[in-house]
Structure 1
Amino acid sequence: MIASVLLLQRDSVLMKLSLMLILIGSGSTHNQCDGENLSCGPNQPLIRFPFQLVKEMKEPCSYPRLCLSCTEKNETMLLLPTIKLQVIDINYQRKGIFLTEPENCFSNKFMQIINFVQSYQFESLYYEPHNLSIFNCTSAGHRYLRYRADSYSQDLVSCPIFISDSLDSVLKLDLTSCTKMFDIPSPIGFTDGYPLYLKWFKPNCSECEAKGKRCKWKTNNDTEGDIECFECTRKRIHVSKSLIFATTGHIRDSYTFAF
């Protein structure tokens, strides 16, 4: 009987301590490791350095920071100064990001994308500069090009200007009914209707990762893109004897809890 009473008292103490620690943890500030497994939802890319998750344009985000936000449909969006691009995937090992235009119309945002690539020193899958061909498909006679029949297909009615790599085959792309307008040089090579694949080289966290550490910006307002290494340690909350006594009415050894 006495053993049962002692057991109940011990369980009551542990329950009170657990509740107290939950309240302490929920009111504490986030540490550097809190955002290591963020994402916008199932089947969405993980969001970690050098990207940061923000609430639309309400939070400042300028070079060198790369800001992502979540839509109401749990889609991941890359926030640029004047446009948004949907993030399909992020390969942190290869430092690559796959992007698409939400309305499958890259031509409407072509110059903003080029400015972003040049400002943030991104590179496309092709390392050398490319020439892009610009087509007017207003008189194409059909809504979609026959070579594509998926969710990335460009709607030629709402977006009649089609961009392709100048090396791509007009026949293969089904552009024979479109009118070629001109060629332009571009630091990236891509074709409308396909995700845009870009690689970043800065910031480079390889040295930190080789030491088993993480990367972070040196300062919150750093505009040079300087980074530093840090060790990702779990938060620890130390509960003293006096706090345990005040909460439970019993004196126990002090505890340290990791979060």
Structure 2
Amino acid sequence: MHILVITPTIFSLLMIFFIHRTQSAGICPSFSCNHPRKYFPIHFPFRVPRNQSKRCGYPRFDLSCSSDRETCLRLPSSPSEPLVIKEIDYADQIVWVSDPNGCVPKRVMNLNLTGSPYMSGPYSVEYTLLSCSGPVDPTQLPAGSSVVRCLSEQDFTAVLTFEKEAEEKLVNLKGQCHVTKRVVAPLWWRGLAYGVYPMDMSDVLIQLRWELPGCGDCVVRGGSCGFIGDSGLDVGCFLLGGNGLSPSYIPGLPRSAKYGLILGAGMPGLLFMIGLSFYLSSRVRAYNQSRNHANAESSSTITPQPIILTLGLDDPTIESYPKTVLGESKRLPKLSDGTCPICLSEYQPKETLRAIPDCNHYFHVECIDEWLRMNATCPLCRNSPQKSSENGS
């Protein structure tokens, strides 16, 4: 009888304790703007401030939902012009965005990522925008170039080229085309990796990526990434099944009402379990009170333990990767272009480059060393040289 009297009170306290610990561990429910034709979950490091708590997202990763339920991203450099998110790859930490006005080339001409957690995606290359007099038939353009309808007018056509040879052909075409601007931009479209170019570049996508927080490996392992504790920016990987004790977000209700709904929904089953545990505990306490009191206390406070991931490589491993000093020709084996994919600067003679084993992708030594200290994969192909060397040994 004594157990039945105290059980509801203890049950309520334990439920609030578990909920608090689970929330503080960074396990938050996902959210979606619920676009009728495109659904994808929004979860850590992203959050929608109007619908999710502050600890559900990393600083500067705030998103918003538009009136037509599109998921939007605002860059600090252009706060009045949001970009529309088309897809998020949480494993590779890449986000694809488009221009709501349907003119991505216009946006990338003045794209400024300063103050944001994003950087250009791995396919960022230099493009040349040309203005050609009169209408231009896109099927007659040289390979490696496309028209930009959204930037064209009745008396001229905007053309975007991806190759120097195409630019030279257009400029030498009876003086009809002249260069307007050159820009390094992270443009992306399906077929880019296979050399298939769209006839109109107006509505392609912008590919952005982020490095911190580094949750890609956690996602691959099937874990949930989130903050550790109630404060600070330490991030952990929680390998849990289902949603645990994380409460779903209920808009428009105060915190006490949410807890009331959660307690009411789970009370019957959990009340029985806690009553049973108290019964067993009282029987065992008569045999060995001090030892089993400690066991009962530890069993009632089990919480998910975060696994802190070490994602980068150590300096000896990095130094083992081959270096190459460029000569005057600046030629390298299997080098796709003369630009470092990380800092986007052209290679110069006498510079020292480092290659990633197996894939043989080259980068400035200082660029790739800093990258590998935080990531164990190649920035271009996501190959893991560490795993390759371990498998081969």
Q: Is it true that 1:98 corresponds to 2:96 in the alignment?
A: yes
| Inter-partner Cα distance in structure 1 for 2:113 and 2:82 | 13
Of 211, 219, 234, 2:245 maps to 234
Q: Which residue of 2 aligns with 1:80?
A: 75
| Matched AA of 2:64 | S
- Give distance in 2, aligned partners of 1:39 and 1:155: 28
- Structure 1 counterpart of 2:34: 40
Q: Within 1, Cα distance between the matches of 2:165 and 2:204?
A: 15
Over 3 Å counting, the alpha-carbon distance change for 1:164 and 1:200 in structure 2 is farther
CA distance in 1, matches of 2:135, 2:212: 45
* 1:70 maps onto 2:65 in alignment: yes
Offset at 1:256?
Answer: 6.8
- CA RMSD in angstroms comes to 4.9
Partners of 1:157 and 1:210 lie apart in 2 by 44
160-169 or 91-100, larger mean C-alpha shift:
160-169
Task: Name the CA distance, whole Å, in 2 between partners of 1:85 and 1:168.
Answer: 30
Does 2:162 match 1:166? yes
8 Å Cα contact 1:44/1:75 also seen in 2: no
Out of 262, 271, 277, the position equivalent to 1:254 is 271
Shift of 1:219: 7.8
1:100–1:196 Cα contact (<8 Å) kept: yes
Match of 2:281 in 1: none
- String of CA shifts for 1:38-85, please: whole Å, max 9, x gaps: 3433323221112112349xx9xx984322211111111112222311
Change over 3 Å in CA distance of 1:218–1:34 after alignment to 2: closer
Q: Give 1:234's aligned amino acid.
A: L
Matched residues in 1 for 2:149 and 2:230: separation? 40
Counterpart CA distance in 1 for 2:209 and 2:229 is 24
State the alpha-carbon separation in 1 of the partners of residues 118 and 225 from structure 2. 19
Aligned: 1:123 with 2:140: no
CA contact (8 A) 2:102 2:202 kept: yes
Number of residue pairs aligned between Structure 1 and Structure 2: 203
What displacement does 1:102 show?
0.8
Q: Which residue of 2 aligns with 1:10?
A: none
CA shift at 1:97, angstroms? 1.5
Q: Which amino acid aligns with 2:29?
A: G
In the superposition, relative to structure 1, how do residues 119 and 68 fare at CA in structure 2: closer, same or farther (>3 Å)?
closer
Mapping 1:1-259, distance limit 5 Å: 31=23, 32-42=26-36, 43-55=38-50, 64-81=59-76, 82=78, 83-110=81-108, 113-116=111-114, 119-126=116-123, 130-136=125-131, 139-141=133-135, 154-156=149-151, 164=160, 166-167=162-163, 179-184=178-183, 186=184, 188=186, 192-206=202-216, 208-209=218-219, 213-217=223-227, 226-230=234-238, 233-235=244-246, 254-255=271-272
**How much has 1:180 moved relative to structure 2?**
2.2
* Contact 1:107/1:162 (<8 A) preserved: no
Gaps of 5+ in 2: 1-15, 141-147, 189-200, 248-261, 275-393
Closer, same or farther: CA 234–163 of 1 in aligned 2, 3 Å? farther
Q: Secondary structure at the match of 1:77?
A: strand
Please identify which structure carries the higher strand content.
Answer: 1
More moved, 46-55 vs 62-71: 62-71
User: Given that residues 238 and 256 in structure 1 are in contact (C-alpha distance below 8 angstroms), is that contact kept between their aligned partners in structure 2?
Assistant: no
- State how far apart, in whole Å, the 1-side matches of 2:41 and 2:165 are: 36
- Structure 1: 5+ residue stretches without partners: 1-24, 148-152, 245-251
Identity of aligned residues (%): 19
Distance (whole Å) between structure 1 residues aligned to residue 128 and residue 208 of structure 2: 20
Quote the Cα distance in structure 1 between the aligned partners of 2:28 and 2:58: 23
TM-score with structure 1 setting the length: 0.55
**Which residue of structure 1 aligns with residue 313 of structure 2?**
none
1:121: how far off? 4.7
TM-score (ref. length: structure 2): 0.39
d(CA) in 1 for partners of 2:226, 2:210: 16
